Each structure stands twice: as C-alpha cells, then as structure tokens.
Amino acid sequence: MTEAMVEAPSKPIQMVDVIGQYRRYQDEIDSAVLEVVKSGKYINGPYVQAFEREMAEYLGVRHAIACASGTDALQLALMAIDLQPGDEVITTPFTFAATTETIALLHGKPVYVDIEPATFNLDVEQIESKITPRTRAILPVHLFGQPANMTRISEIARKHHLIVIEDAAQAVGATWEGKKVCGIGDMAAISFYPSKNLGAFGDAGMVTTNDDKLAHAIRTIANHGSERAYYHDRLGVNSRLDAIQAAILSVKLPYLDEWNANRSRAAATYSELFEDYSELVQTPFLDPRATSIWHQYSIILSTGREQVAQHLREVGIPHGIYYPIPLHLQRAYADGSRGDFPTTEYAADHILSLPMHSELISEEIEYIVSHVLEGLGV
Ligand SMILES: *Cc1c(COP(=O)(O)O)cnc(C)c1O
C-alpha cells in the first residue's frame, strides 16, 4: 500500500474528536446545559442524582457516587478503606500517573508488578509474590479500554483478604466474562475527562461500589467528611460534581454503547489493514474473555517508531505515546531503576497510539495505516 493509493480525507484527522461529537448532539446538549443554568442548582442536586442513577443502572452496580475527577475517585476509594501510611497497594507501572499519585498522596506505597506483553495489563501471575503483611489492596487498571484479568484478581484478593479497586477510567462499558467492569471489584474509579469514551466538558469522575458501607463512606468523604451540615466525623475533601457536567453526561450516556461499537469497528478495521504486516506491526490483542471500549488503539513497533512518528507528524496525522515513562522511573515516585519491569519498559519504548474516537471513519483509517506503513518504509 502506498500513499498514492489512499487519498487524504477532506478534513483533518483528530486523535479524539470532542468537537465533532458535540456538533452531532448540539441541540440536546445545549438545552440540557441551559436548563441547569436556569435551575440555580449547580453542585450535586437533582441533575447529579439523576446521572448517578443512570450510571448505576448502566453499569449494574448498587451505588454510583459522582465526584470532581477520576483522580479524586481513586483517592476517595483509597480513603474509604482508611489507607494508612506505609500500607501497600499493588498496581501496574504502565498507566497514567493518577493511579500511583493518589496512593502516594495518602502516604501509601505503590507496589508494582510488570504487565503482560499482549494486553499491557498487569500480569496477574506476579501479584502473589508481591503480597506482604502491609498489602491492603490490588488496583488493576483496565488499560486502553480492555479489562484486566478480574477473575484471577478477585481470586487472589479473596484468598489474601485484600480490597480490589478497579481503575476503570479508560473502560466504561467494557466487559470481563460477560460482566461490565466497575461492578466486579469492591470499588471502581471512573473518569469523565473530555477525552475519555464518556467525556464531560471539564473534569468529572465517579466511584462505584456494591457495598453499602463503602458507598456511605465515599459520599461522606467527598463532602468534607460530613453527613450533617457542619458536623465533620471524619477527614474529608471537597470533591463534588457540577450539575452542568452531570446534565451533559446524562445526554451522552444513552449513546455510549453506539460509540463504543463504532470504536470497536474502527479497531477491527485497523487490525485488518495491518494484517499482512504482522512482522512489522504488532496489533492489539483482545483477550477472548474481554470486550474493550478501545480507549486507545496502540501498536507495538519493534523497530522504526521514531521514523513512523516523524512521518505522521509531517503528514499531519495525530498520534500519541502512552506512556513514554513508566511510573517506577518517574522522578516524583522514583523508587525503581531501569530493568525492574522489562515488559513495561519495552512497551514504553515501542508503543504508538493511533487516532481513535467514535467519529473515526474507514477512509481515515486507511489513510492512517498507509502512512504508518510508509513511515516503516513499506
Ligand atoms: C484519565 C485517567 C485517570 C484520571 O482521571 P482524571 O479524570 O483525569 O482525573 C486515572 N487513571 C487512568 C488510567 C486514566 O486514564
């Protein structure tokens, strides 16, 4: 396939098309926003409660507690189990920093296990060797939209009396063995950051749980540790959801499955077009027990990533490297050295994420693939 065979699309390709999606639903979104503005109920209140109910129903969980961001959702979950200084949380070094940041903020200790090369999710078979008397929780990340192996994680957690907190920031609507994520672990954290598959028009997040006690704790902590105004029974934070964001998300939620299906189709198209080049391009592997919402479509290039990135820049095709520096090597949490997690480090050095969103069309994907191959000298 060469450039000459695939024509450039008529409009610029977006990594994530937030404006394109807004335009499609503009009337509905505009009137929802205006309604909130006119209501005077700007924080929590009826719009937030309605969205919480809709999410709980969509995910099949008992409790959905809205908060200010996905990062806050992780922190609220860790505060709800009363994480103590020195308590250990087992997680992956190949994720967005928020996962580790919240553990460290509470003076807990992130304990990493390496990832599986095929799914980029934490390698469940390495978890047990990292469990100590200080281990409190396992925090798997459903990376790029694909659930981690929740069957094995739940088994290990039960055996060692550990809490499971799912970082589902990238995976709303994904399933593991037929069950939606967010309702599998003890708690889950969701992000509605604008580039996530269910994106607000600002920061927004949510914690889900099937446990009534944890739900009560999360709600209290998110509201200054207060159950009754001006009585503060525990240490809390201010992490509430703006009603405008809730109203926007309520408009969007009914379309989420359709968008996730579009992303899935786009991923299949990419993989089909790369099929004949498997010695050059490793396409994403989807575990047969999982469905992914394809937060990212990430390929591994054993050689030539820099040339491909350079070529894509030249022709104006957006792309990303998630994540270039694993968390054990980040200065803020640097407690590791190169070589500690070889699979993670290999992924960081060779991964490349291509445009992925619900509005992406085949014509654009063909163009992107042709230029990846051209960058590789095919
Ligand atoms: C986006 C994200 C977060 C943080 O969510 P925010 O809403 O941006 O605070 C946490 N973990 C992962 C894996 C994410 O992708």
Distance 144 CA to ligand 1 centre (A): 11
Fold designation for 256-375: Aspartate Aminotransferase, domain 1 (3.90.1150)
Name the residue of 67, 71, 182, 201 whose CB sits within 8 Å of the most ligand 1 atoms, as the mutation to test its pocket: 71
Q: Are 78 and 165 in contact (CB under 8 A)?
A: yes
pTM more than 0.85: yes
Task: Say yes or no to pLDDT of 334 above 80.
Answer: no
Mean pLDDT of the chain: 96
Contacting residues for 300 by C-beta, under 8 A, at least 6 apart: 281, 282, 347, 350, 351, 352
Distance 139 CA to ligand 1 centre (A): 13
Domains 22-254 and 256-375 alike in fold: no
Ligand 1 proximity of 110 Cβ (cutoff 6 Å): no
CA 42 from chain centre, in angstroms, equals 27
Mean pLDDT value across residues 317-341: 93
* Per-residue model confidence (pLDDT) at position 5: 63
The partner residues of 106 in beta bridges, in order of sequence, read: none
Q: Where are the domains of the chain?
A: 22-254, 256-375
Distance 196 CA to ligand 1 centre (A): 9
Ligand 1 proximity of 358 Cβ (cutoff 6 Å): no
CA 27 from chain centre, in angstroms, equals 28
Percent of the chain with pLDDT over 70: 98
Task: Say yes or no to pLDDT of 3 above 60.
Answer: no
| Per-residue pLDDT tens over the stretch 61-105 | 999 999 999 999 999 999 999 999 999 999 999 999 999 999 999
Cα three-residue angle 153-155-158, rounded to 5 degrees: 105
* Per-residue model confidence (pLDDT) at position 316: 95
Percent of the chain with pLDDT over 90: 92
The H or E element that residue 49 is part of is helix 45-59
Q: Which atom of ligand 1 is nearest to the CA of 141?
A: 13
Confidence of residue 370 (pLDDT cuts 50, 70, 90): very high
Distance 71 CA to ligand 1 centre (A): 6
Distance 231 CA to ligand 1 centre (A): 31
SS3 track for 94-127: CCCCHHHHHHHHCCCEEEECCECCCCCCECHHHC
Distance 296 CA to ligand 1 centre (A): 13
Within a 10 A sphere around the Cβ of 99, how many other Cβ atoms?
26
| Per-residue pLDDT tens over the stretch 102-134 | 999 999 999 999 999 999 999 999 999 999 999
Ligand 1 proximity of 170 Cβ (cutoff 6 Å): yes
Atom 5 of ligand 1, nearest CA residue: 70
Q: Which atom of ligand 1 is nearest to the CA of 71?
A: 9
* Per-residue model confidence (pLDDT) at position 11: 86
* Per-residue model confidence (pLDDT) at position 228: 87
Name the residue of 191, 203, 245, 294 whose CB sits within 8 Å of the most ligand 1 atoms, as the mutation to test its pocket: 191
Fold designation for 22-254: Aspartate Aminotransferase; domain 2 (3.40.640)
Mean pLDDT value across residues 320-329: 96
Ligand 1 proximity of 193 Cβ (cutoff 6 Å): yes
Ligand 1 proximity of 98 Cβ (cutoff 6 Å): yes
Distance 14 CA to ligand 1 centre (A): 20
Q: Which atom of ligand 1 is nearest to the CA of 295?
A: 15
Ligand 1 proximity of 209 Cβ (cutoff 6 Å): no
| Per-residue pLDDT tens over the stretch 12-62 | 999 988 999 999 999 999 999 999 999 999 998 999 999 999 999 999 999
| Per-residue pLDDT tens over the stretch 158-200 | 999 999 999 999 999 999 999 999 999 999 999 999 999 999 9
Confidence of residue 10 (pLDDT cuts 50, 70, 90): confident
Q: Are 225 and 232 in contact (CB under 8 A)?
A: yes
Q: Which atom of ligand 1 is nearest to the CA of 142?
A: 13
Q: Which residue has the higher pLDDT, 7 or 268?
A: 268
Task: Say yes or no to pLDDT of 9 above 90.
Answer: no
Ligand 1 proximity of 94 Cβ (cutoff 6 Å): no
Task: Say yes or no to pLDDT of 4 above 80.
Answer: no
Q: Which atom of ligand 1 is nearest to the CA of 95?
A: 13
C-alpha–C-alpha distance, residues 184 and 259, integer Å: 23
Atom 2 of ligand 1, nearest CA residue: 169
